[in-house]
Structure formats: structure tokens, C-alpha cells
């Protein structure tokens, strides 16, 4: 055998080994997810004991675990995506932090909105037990399938809206249009528009303030020493109020005055802690925007972790709300949609599933939110994270139902479109190379016209990617009707398959 033939054979063998390794990695995540679902089913069987409805609880646990995996794979990207896109934290670090705080939020404070998922969407206070179980099971499976599809195509969608659509679709098929609480559905539909716009506006407003107070100043270091502690104080105060009203509402529900006092107290503590820290960090720092942006790295990581805690506390209901309703119905023997109990083992399936889904399938959506919509740095990502908390607080105070997914993605769009506006305004203000990019281009022996064209080309790569805007918006609009239609179909199938 010649040397060249031997080399070809070795290359072919190496290619087979590489393909086998890639195949093994691609099958590892689904395999781990399958093991989790099997364990969830076994846990449900032991938790409920032997009874006529045990097999239904086991099936429901499998579907709830599947939905929890999808919530982790899709929803959590909205919290960690900006931090990863800004290079403030690695993907592995983001997955570890988010998994810990998502699980902590779900286990310590989760389940407060479980009744809302199953109760507020339906008008009828009672229905036949088997019908109610089929409605909830079809809704849960339909929403899980839709979120799985959205994750596969790389579209961050609202899992809350998916569950809403599922309950509506299966409820209509089971008992007609009159069973649905249409005013609640109308309010949810309104949030499709309000959530991203409000999140984008608030994020852009924060970015404008930071630009005017820090990044456009001649002495950026001195300005940062004054203003970064103030922004940290705002962050700590807002998140204290956010967690008190949304993240810890299951174990503690403070009044309005107490919430404001908490915000002021934690804001003051944040300011006192940030002052010496900012001075130490900025001591040998260059007077450049890129270096000053690093002062927002730690606050960004903290805010992302707190968002994950609050998300776990609130959105675990999307995975286990209908399942908790199924368990309660089997235990009581009738399909009441009020007074749903939440056993710890049900909550644990949701918490573990969300964290596991994030670790196994989350990186793709994290990259979409953090890197593929627009270019982020620590400041822009911080504005997006802070906007998410502020928007939820404002919406709660006004009584508006909003989607945390839509807010977070809308905030990224907001900072992106603001950068686009500022970039175009600067480019159109002069036909000669006046900014840094045009100066760099002109230094390459280019004419002013060539420099301008080169600078425009550079700037165009930093703009919001329009195809992501349209694809994500389309996925948002389709989520409720798609989940509803799928749930209606699954209701018929499950009614035949499950006796």
C-alpha cells in the first residue's frame, strides 16, 4: 500500500471517528432528557400511590416534565442572553448561574400563579372530572410541542402565551366558546404589543441616560465614579421591589408602602457598596468607553441571576400549572378550577426540568437573544436587564398583564434600534470622515467618498438584524392560535387514547 493510500485510509478512519463523536454528543442531550422524564414518571407513581388515577398522573408528569424542559430551553435565554452576548460571562457560567437561580426561584417561591393558569382562563367553576383532566393535559402537551418547535427554529416565544393558547383551545373543544374568559384573553393579547414596546422604550431610555452621563463625557472615569454607583443603586432598589412583588409573592406579599421602603433601603445599600468598588476597579482604567463598560459587568451578572430567580418563581407555573390541576382533580374527584394544591414533588419536577432544559438545549436561544439580534456590550445588556425588571414593576402597578419574554427581547430590540438611530444620525450629519471608523478608513488612503462607503458598511453590520425582528414577531403572534389549534386536536386524541 502506498503512503498516499495509507494517508487516505487514516483520514477516512479519522472522519468516521469524528462523525461518531458528533453523533454521540447530539444524542446525549435527548438521552439525558429521556432519563429525566422516566424518573419524573416513576416519582409521580410513588408520590400518588396505587389508585385508579395513578396512570393518568404518571402521563401528566411525563408531559409536565417535557414542558419544563422546553421552558428552560426557550424562556431562560431571555435572562442570560444579553449577558452572554456582551461577553460579561461565558456560556458555561451563564448556564450554571441560571440553573441554580431558576431552580431556587421555583422551589422557594414558585407556584403563586399556578391557579391563574387553570382558573382565570375558564369561566365555568366546575366541569366533569375526566373532561377537565383531558383539557389540562391537552393544553400542557400542545404548549410543550409548540415551544419545542419554536426552540428548534430559534425563536424566543412566551411560554405563558403558549399555555394560555393550549387551555383556550382544549377548553373550546370540550365545552364551547362560552367556557373561555375572553376579557382575560383580550388583556393577554394586548400585552403582545405593550410588552416589547414598553421594554424597548425603557431600555433605550436607560442607554440614553448612560450615554449622556458617562460614555460621551471627556473624563469618562470621573463620570463613572459618580454615576455607576447611582445606576447600581437603581438596580438594587428595582430588583428588591421586583422580587418582593413578583419573585417572592408565594411566601410574602408586602404592601405598597413596604415595597417602596424596601426599594429605597436596598438602593441605598447598593450605592454604599458600589462606591468603593467602582473606585478600586477604575483606579488603573483607561479613559475609554470600552474600559468604562467593564464597570457594568458585575451588576449585569447580578441582575441576570436575579431575573432568573424571579423567572423560576413565576414561570414554573407554565410547566406544572395544568399538571397540578390534574393531580388535584384526581385527588378530589371533581374538576374544580379553583383551590388547586401544589405538592412539593410537582414543584420539584418543574424546577429540575427547567434547569435541565436550560443546560441541555438552552445555548442556541441564548445566542439568538444575546448575539444575533444586535451587538451588545456590558452597558447595553445592563440596560436590557434593568428594563425587564422596571417594565414588570410598572405593568404590575398599572394592572397590565405582560410577558417577561416579550419584555426582555423588546429591550434588546430597543437598545439596538437606538444605536441604529444614533449611528445613522452621525453618518448623515457629515459627508467627511468625522468619527473613528471613518478616520480609520481614510487612513487607508481612501477618498472621503470611499471612507464614507466603508464606514457605512461597517455600521450596517451593527444594526438590528431585520429578519430576526420579523421572525420573532411572527412567532409571537402565532403562538396563542397555534397552541390553541394543536390543543384542540390533542383533546380529541387523548380523549380516545386515555380511558
In a domain, 453, yes or no: no
Longest dimension (CA), the chain: 86
CA atoms within 13 A on the CB side of 146: 31
**CB-based contact 188:159 (threshold 8 Å):** no
Are 376 and 370 contacting, i.e. CB atoms less than 8 angstroms apart?
yes
For residue 470, what is the enclosing H or E element?
Answer: helix 466-497
CA distance 481 to 188: 13
Q: Mean per-residue pLDDT for 303-311?
A: 86
Provide, for the chain, the percentages of residues in helix, strand and coil under a 3-state DSSP scheme, each rounded to the nearest 5: 80, 0, 20
Q: Count of alpha carbons within 13 Å of 217, Cβ hemisphere only? A: 17
Q: What 3-state DSSP class applies to 476? A: helix
CA distances from 289 to 210, 277, 413 (A): 11, 18, 21
- pLDDT tier at 457, thresholds 50, 70, 90: low
Q: Note whether residue 443 is domain-resident.
A: no
Q: What local confidence, expressed as pLDDT, does residue 21 receive?
A: 46
Helix (H, G, I), strand (E, B) or coil at 127: strand
Q: For residue range 421-444, list pLDDT tens digits in order.
A: 887 777 666 544 445 444 444 444
- The answer to whether residue 407 sits within a structural domain is yes
Q: Residue 213's closest CA among 228, 234, 193?
A: 228
Comparison of pLDDT for 137 and 465, the residue scoring more: 137
Mean pLDDT value of segment 3-31? 57
Q: In this predicted structure, what is the pLDDT of residue 333?
A: 67
Instruction: Tell whether 242 is covered by a domain.
Output: yes
Cα–Cα distance list, 278 to 197, 292, 463 (Å): 32, 10, 31
Mean pLDDT estimate for the chain: 81
Alpha-carbon gap, residue 267 to 240, rounded angstroms = 8
Euclidean distance between CA atoms 143 and 163, whole angstroms: 5
User: Does residue 408 lie in a domain region?
Assistant: yes
Give the span between the Cα atoms of 389 and 391, in whole angstroms: 6
Give the up-direction half-sphere exposure of residue 204: CA atoms within 13 A in the CB hemisphere: 18
The beta strands (E) that lie in 239-392 are given as: 335-336
Residue 296 in contact with residue 379, Cβ under 8 Å? yes
The confidence score (pLDDT) of residue 403 equals 76
What is the average per-residue pLDDT within 176-183?
81
> Nearest Cα to 491, choosing from 178, 175, 52?
175
Give the residue from 155, 69, 81, 163 showing the smallest Cα distance to 116. Answer: 163
Which residues span the domain enclosing 175?
32-428+464-497
Phi first, then psi, for residue 127 (nearest 5°) are -145, 170
With cell 445592563, the residue in question is 382
3-class secondary-structure state, position 288: coil
Residue 293: partners with Cβ closer than 8 Å, 6 or more residues away: 215, 377, 378, 379
Work out how many domains the chain is built from and give that number.
Answer: 1
* CA-based nearest residue to 142, from 473, 482, 476, 475: 482
Q: What is the pLDDT of residues 356-366, one digit of tens each?
A: 998 888 888 88
Question: Is 0.75 surpassed by the pTM of this model?
Answer: yes
Q: Is 491 helix (H, G, I), strand (E, B) or coil?
A: helix
Half-sphere exposure of 374 (CA within 13 A, CB side): 23
Distance, in Å, from the CA atom of 302 to the CA atom of 317, rounded to the nearest integer, reads: 24
Grid-cell match 441554580, residue found = 100
H or E element at residue 71: helix 54-74
Residue 415 lies in a domain: yes
Residue pLDDT, tens place only, 24-72: 556 788 889 999 999 999 998 888 776 677 888 999 999 999 999 999 8
Helix axes 77-85, 297-332, angle to 10 degrees: 160
Lowest mean pLDDT among 23-27, 32-36, 318-322, 477-481: 23-27
Q: Is the pLDDT of residue 20 over 50?
A: no
Residue 8: φ, ψ to 5°: -65, -40
CB 61 within 8 A of CB 345: no
Question: For residue 439, is it within any domain?
Answer: no
Q: Can you give the pLDDT at residue 431?
A: 46
**Does residue 213 register a pLDDT over 90?**
yes
The yes-or-no verdict on residue 337 having pLDDT over 60 is no
Q: Pick 349 or 335 by higher pLDDT.
A: 349
- Res 18: pLDDT: 47
71-81 pLDDT per residue, tens: 988 887 778 88
Query: Per mean pLDDT, which range of 237-251, 402-416, 422-436 is the poorest?
Result: 422-436
Give the separation between CA 349 and CA 192, rounded to whole angstroms: 29
Asked, for residue 84, whether it belongs to a domain, the answer is yes
Amino acid at each position: 500500500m502506498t503512503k498516499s493510500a495509507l494517508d487516505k485510509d487514516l483520514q477516512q478512519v479519522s472522519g468516521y471517528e469524528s462523525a461518531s463523536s458528533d453523533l454521540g454528543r447530539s444524542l446525549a442531550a435527548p438521552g439525558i432528557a429521556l432519563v429525566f422524564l422516566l424518573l419524573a414518571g416513576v416519582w409521580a407513581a410513588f408520590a400518588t400511590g396505587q389508585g385508579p388515577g395513578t396512570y393518568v398522573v404518571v402521563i401528566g408528569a411525563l408531559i409536565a416534565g417535557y414542558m419544563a424542559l422546553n421552558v428552560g430551553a426557550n424562556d431562560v435565554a431571555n435572562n442570560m442572553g444579553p449577558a452572554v452576548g456582551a461577553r460579561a460571562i461565558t456560556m458555561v457560567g451563564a448556564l450554571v448561574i441560571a440553573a441554580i437561580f431558576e431552580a431556587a426561584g421555583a422551589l422557594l417561591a414558585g407556584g403563586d400563579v399556578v391557579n391563574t393558569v387553570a382558573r382565570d382562563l375558564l369561566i365555568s367553576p366546575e366541569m366533569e372530572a375526566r373532561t377537565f383532566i383531558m383539557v389540562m393535559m391537552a393544553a400542557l402537551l400542545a404548549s410543550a410541542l409548540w415551544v419545542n418547535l419554536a426552540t428548534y427554529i430559534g425563536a424566543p416565544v412566551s411560554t405563558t402565551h403558549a399555555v394560555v393558547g393550549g387551555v383556550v383551545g382544549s377548553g373550546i373543544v370540550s365545552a364551547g366558546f362560552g367556557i373561555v374568559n375572553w376579557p382575560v384573553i383580550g388583556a393577554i393579547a394586548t400585552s403582545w404589543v405593550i410588552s416589547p414596546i414598553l421594554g424597548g422604550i425603557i431600555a433605550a431610555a436607560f442607554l440614553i441616560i448612560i450615554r449622556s452621563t458617562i460614555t460621551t463625557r471627556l473624563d469618562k472615569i470621573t463620570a463613572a465614579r459618580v454615576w455607576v454607583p447611582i445606576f447600581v443603586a437603581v438596580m438594587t432598589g428595582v430588583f428588591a421591589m421586583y422580587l418582593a412583588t413578583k419573585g417572592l409573592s408565594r411566601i410574602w406579599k408586602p404592601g405598597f408602602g413596604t415595597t417602596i421602603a424596601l426599594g429605597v433601603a436596598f438602593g441605598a445599600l447598593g450605592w454604599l457598596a458600589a462606591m468603593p468598588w467602582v473606585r478600586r476597579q477604575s483606579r488603573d482604567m483607561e479613559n475609554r468607553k470600552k474600559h468604562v463598560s467593564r464597570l457594568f459587568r458585575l451588576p449585569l451578572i447580578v441582575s441576570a441571576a436575579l431575573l432568573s430567580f424571579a423567572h423560576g418563581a413565576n414561570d414554573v407555573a407554565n410547566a406544572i400549572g395544568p399538571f397540578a390541576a390534574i393531580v388535584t382533580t384526581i385527588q378530589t374527584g371533581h374538576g374544580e378550577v379553583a383551590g388547586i394544591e401544589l405538592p412539593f414533588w410537582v414543584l420539584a419536577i418543574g424546577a429540575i426540568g427547567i434547569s435541565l432544559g436550560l443546560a441541555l438545549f438552552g445555548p442556541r436561544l441564548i445566542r439568538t437573544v444575546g448575539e444575533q439580534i444586535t451587538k451588545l456590550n456590558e452597558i447595553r445588556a445592563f440596560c436590557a436587564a434593568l428594563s425587564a425588571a422596571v417594565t414588570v414593576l410598572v405593568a404590575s402597578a398599572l394592572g397590565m398583564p405582560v410577558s417577561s419574554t416579550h419584555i426582555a427581547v423588546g429591550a434588546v430590540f430597543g437598545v439596538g434600534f437606538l444605536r441604529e438611530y444614533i449611528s445613522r444620525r452621525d453618518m448623515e450629519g457629515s459627508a467627511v470622515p468625522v468619527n473613528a471608523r471613518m478616520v480609520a478608513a481614510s487612513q487607508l488612503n481612501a477618498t472621503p467618498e470611499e471612507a464614507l462607503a466603508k464606514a457605512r458598511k461597517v455600521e450596517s453590520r451593527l444594526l438590528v438584524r431585520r429578519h430576526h425582528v420579523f421572525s420573532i414577531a411572527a412567532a409571537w403572534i402565532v403562538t396563542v392560535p397555534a397552541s390553541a389549534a394543536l390543543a384542540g386536536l390533542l383533546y380529541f386524541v387523548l380523549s380516545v387514547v386515555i380511558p
